[in-house]
Every structure is written in C-alpha cells, then in structure tokens.
Amino acid sequence: MEEQHAPARSWRYGPPWRSAPEGDDAQPQRGRRWPWRSTVLLTAFVLIGTNFAEHSQPHRVPLNGYARVLLLVASVLLLWRHRYPVAVAFGTATATLVYLAAGFPYGPVFLTVAVGCFSAVVAGHRRAAWASVGVLWAAHALVALWLYRWLPPPGDRSAGLTQQIVIATWVLAIVALSELARVRREQWARERADRAQAARRRADEERLRIARELHDVLAHSISVINVQAGMGLALLDSDPEQARAALTTIKAASKEALGEVRQVLDTLRAPGAAPRAPAPGLDRLPELVDQAAAAGLTVEIEGEPPQLPPGADLAAFRIVQEALTNVVRHSGSRHARVLLAHDGAALRLRIDDDGPATGADAGGSGNGLAGMRERAAALGGTIEAGPRADGGFRVVAVLPSHIREDE
C-alpha cells in the first residue's frame, strides 16, 4: 500500500543475546546528524566542573595543559558516539584512565565515560560497552590499590576498599540505566512498527472494501444494462415501444450506478467524511426487485427484512444483489427466490434459482462469490454457494445481527 518515500534512518538492534550487530551494522552509521550541541554543553560542563573540583582536592596534581587536553579528548570523542559507538566507548574510557593515572583531580570526567557507554548500549553494542567500563574500573582499582606508589601525585595513599565498592556501584548504575534505555528504545521501535503495520492493514482493508463496493455496483448495473441493450436491439424494428422501454431502463440503471460509484469515490477524496447518502440496506430490496424485473428476472421475497447494524445491513444487501446478478448473467432461469429468516442472533439469507446454467461460470465463480465470502467473513458470518441437485443454484449466507460498528 505504499507511497514511495525515502526510508527513514533509525536505530537498529540485534537480538538480545548478541553483543554487537553484524553485517551492515558493523559498518559506521552514516547520514546521522552530529550531536554538536550536547557535546559542546558536556565539554563545557566537564572543564568548568573539574576546575571547581580541583579546589577540594589539594593532594592531587593541579590541572595543567596536559590535563585539559585529556579532558577535551574525552569530551570531543562524543561527537562520534552515534557513528562509532564502540570506538567512542573505549576512547573515553582510555582518556579518562590516563587522566586519573596521571594523578589529576577527580571530577565530571566520568560523565564522558557514562555517555559513551550509554550510546554503545543503546546502539546494540552491549558487550563492548560493558568491557570498556569494566576495564576502566579494573585499571583504576589497580592504580588506586597498588600502582599509586610509582604514579603521581607523590606521597599518595592507597584507596580503601569502600571507595572501590562505591565506584563499582556507580559503574553498575550506569550500565543498568543504559540497558533500561536500550529496552525502552526497542519497545518504542516495536510499537512504531506495530502502528505502521496496523495502518497498512487498515489501508488494505479499506481498498478491499472499496473494490468490493465498486464490483458489486458495476456488476449488477452493467448486467441489467447488457440485458436491456440486447432486448432493445432485438425489438428496435419490430416493437419500438419495447425498445424505448429498454433504453429508459438502461438510462435509469446507468444513472443509479453512477450515483453509487460517486458515493464510493467520495470516501477516497475525503477519508473519514460522512457520506452524502446513506449506505444501501435491505430496505432497498424493492428497488433491487424492480431492477431485476427490468432485466427479465422475477424475484420472489419471503420474510421481512430485520433491523440490522449498518455494516451487516449493507453486507446483506450486497450479497442479495450479487446473487441476483449472477442469476441474470449465468442462469437460464427467469425466476429467483430470496428467503430472509432472522432468529434474533443471526440473519439467514437464501437465494435460489431453478437453472439451468447457461455457461461454465454458473452461479458466478469469480470475484462475485469471493466478494460475498469476504463480506460475510468480515462480520463473522459464512457463505455457502453451489449447484442444487435439481440443476438450480443456491446461495446461503448467515450473518450475525449483533455486531459492534468498531469491529
């Protein structure tokens, strides 16, 4: 059902057991916007925040040009976090580790690692993100518990186990938040896909409905016009009055067909707008009988049309209309019977003709019967159609009479 649009760029996710996408997803993601604003704001926050943090940590190495370069590297790397999430996750972790190993003050530099890990997890590279954060924590623990003796600042003391547990808790919190964001994004992506699929399904159903309406309207009217045109040609010289009557019937049938086709097409031009005329229902059976009579078919109606919801009423009318059209087109009988039986829960329609069939398509074997079955199935009903033992043809439809309009 589809208009041709350029495919939208979207995040792609691997199955939950895969740490990183393969194939196309392993290549750099191109065509995405650079996250300039967030990166600039984050860089400013890291630089300014670290300057303030320095004042409360006089025992650490004072900030210098080398420290600020490392802070800039860790922050600016985030510009590539959407295109190269794995490289950015490990790059921010490495720059931060070098910064801490050099003895510079603790501060918001850890935020760059958190954002890099978050971007990698959301992009589907879960194991890479976990590995980068895990390596940073393990290396920091090694520095804080053992290598501090040989690294600046001079006279530094070993960090306690409590400090390492706190850092590990923060690492787990970052990973947990990243995983939560990934799950939510996947859920939103599935919901968008479900909504798009539902919209496509509704569009398909609407096209099918319009196709059925056009088929039923045109098949019936054109059958009447065909019969009357043949009659008019046969009687043009011998009985001009009968020929005139046939032409009058053709004019009326074509006018009615044009009106119904216009009503169907109006729903295409203004989707959701109220129709200009009510949809036909079983209350128009007398008109259907008159049209059949104009085509030379006598129709006998047994039973009273019940009150039905609009959808069921339209389906019942179209089924009777299509069945009578098939009698006109495919049966040698000039007499048909329509039986309506309603038991409160379902309407039973039975249309009979006595045959014989005039061709291989007796009773209608193409779109007519398929359309009737689709109409009935859409309402939870059934259609049975086939030849009778005595040579005639029978159509039996059972339609539920209590149907909500939103179904």
Chain segment 156-180, per-residue pLDDT in tens: 666 667 777 777 787 788 778 877 8
Whole-model pTM: value is: 0.46
Q: Which of 44-53, 174-183, 232-241 ranks highest by mean pLDDT? A: 44-53
pLDDT at 362: 43
Closest C-alpha among 22, 2, 3, 4 to residue 12: 22
What is the rounded distance in angstroms from the CA atom of residue 261 to the CA atom of residue 217? 7
Q: How far apart are CA 140 and CA 201, in angstroms?
A: 55
Q: How far apart are CA 74 and CA 61, in angstroms?
A: 19
DSSP string, 357-381: BSSTTTT--SHHHHHHHHHHHHTT-
Q: In what order do the strands lie in the sheet with 382-387?
A: 298-302, 335-342, 346-353, 393-400, 382-387
- The amino acid that residue 276 corresponds to is R
CA–CA dist 343, 207 (Å, integer): 33
Using CA atoms, how far residue 278 sits from 30, 175, 309, 320, 370, in Å, is 53, 60, 13, 18, 25
Determine contact, residues 327/291, Cβ cutoff 8 Å. no
Give all domains of the chain, ordered by start, each with its CATH number.
29-159 (no CATH), 281-407 (3.30.565.10)
CA dist., res. 32 & res. 263, Å (int): 46
Give the pLDDT band (50/70/90) at residue 333.
confident
List of long-range contacts for 251-256, beta carbons under 8 Å, 24+ apart:
252/294, 253/221, 253/224, 253/225, 253/228, 253/291, 253/294, 254/221, 254/225, 256/221, 256/291
* DSSP output for 384-400: EEEE-TTS-EEEEEEEE
Res 58 pLDDT > 50:
yes
pLDDT score, position 405: 44
Residue 16 has pLDDT above 80, yes or no: no
Token pair listed for 1: 């059902």
CA pair distance 393, 375, nearest whole angstrom = 20
